[in-house]
Amino acid sequence: MYDGDVLAGNWRRPGKGKIPQVPAEPDLVVEDADSGFCGAVVACDKEAVTLEDRFGKRRLFPLAPAAFLLEGRPVTLVRPSAPAAGGTRRSASGSIAVEGLRARVARESRIYVEGVHDAALVEKIWGHDLRVEGVVVEYLEGVNDLPAIVAEFEPSTGRRLGVLVDHLVPGSKESRIAAQVSSPDVLIVGHPYIDIWQAVKPSVLRIPAWPDVPRGVPWKEGVIAALGWRMEPAAAWRRILGAVSTFSDLEPELLGRVEELIDFVTEAS
């Protein structure tokens, strides 16, 4: 869903393909394609839209010819045809929030992630959606025993298993382990990052980039040292997770994979 560069190929030129129009309803989270400014809609008139980021900073953008990104895809914002009563509240994942939600009874299908940090990040961004769908997320503490864990789960029709794997790239240990699992009721997807930390955009943490860590150095400790944070990994993770508020704070390579897993485990059999 999010593979590739959505801005590649001169997507604005005439005839490239119609860019969908989206009403600029209150709380809709979008990103200005030119400046990278990301925020929620707080006001809109016939000529401009005002966005507010998570720090409370507001910026005014013209409705045209400005272009925006919604869930990683180009859109054109238009003035809502009529004010929505109280506005349309969005969840952290960008989906329409269900008011007065009572979590549905959990499905037999599950989503497994590698560790507690992965689970915490998925909960923070997709927790509302998961409760709407009745999907439970569990963590594996690594993927070394993934084939045995899948066998123990006994996936079947109506009891699907989705697995999110770190560093799932060709030739990696993770890719070789994932290749041992073959079932139509199991979907294993992954992101290219060494650790889920890297799925958070560096700009969210006000760093230029995630540092390269030499081989043989524990990755988390190497990152902390390179950034000069002077804290333990648990505290560093709290700092990272605390900086994340919406899906726009995460890299597309993670967003698409989690959405894919939710679709898979909730798909009608």
Phi and psi at 81, nearest 5°, equal -65, -30
User: Taking Cα atoms as reference points, which of 197, 174, 105, 195 lies closest to residue 163?
Assistant: 174
| CATH assignment, 1-90 | 2.30.30
What is the four-CA torsion angle of 96, 98, 99, 105, rounded to 10 degrees? -170
Residue ranges, comma separated, of all CATH 2.30.30 domains in the chain are 1-90
Contact 178, 157 (CB under 8 A): no
Contact 160, 187 (CB under 8 A): yes
The structure's pTM equals 0.66
Place of tokens 């967003």: 255
**What stretches of 69-180 show up as alpha helix (H) in DSSP?**
116-133, 146-153, 173-178
What gap in Å lies between CA 267 and CA 269, rounded to an integer? 6
pLDDT tens digit at each of 269 positions of the chain: 334 444 444 444 444 457 888 888 877 888 888 888 888 887 777 778 888 776 667 788 888 766 888 877 888 898 887 544 555 667 777 776 766 555 556 788 999 999 899 999 999 999 888 888 888 999 888 889 999 999 999 999 889 999 999 999 999 999 999 999 999 999 999 999 999 999 999 999 999 999 999 999 999 999 999 999 999 999 999 999 999 988 888 999 999 999 999 999 998 54
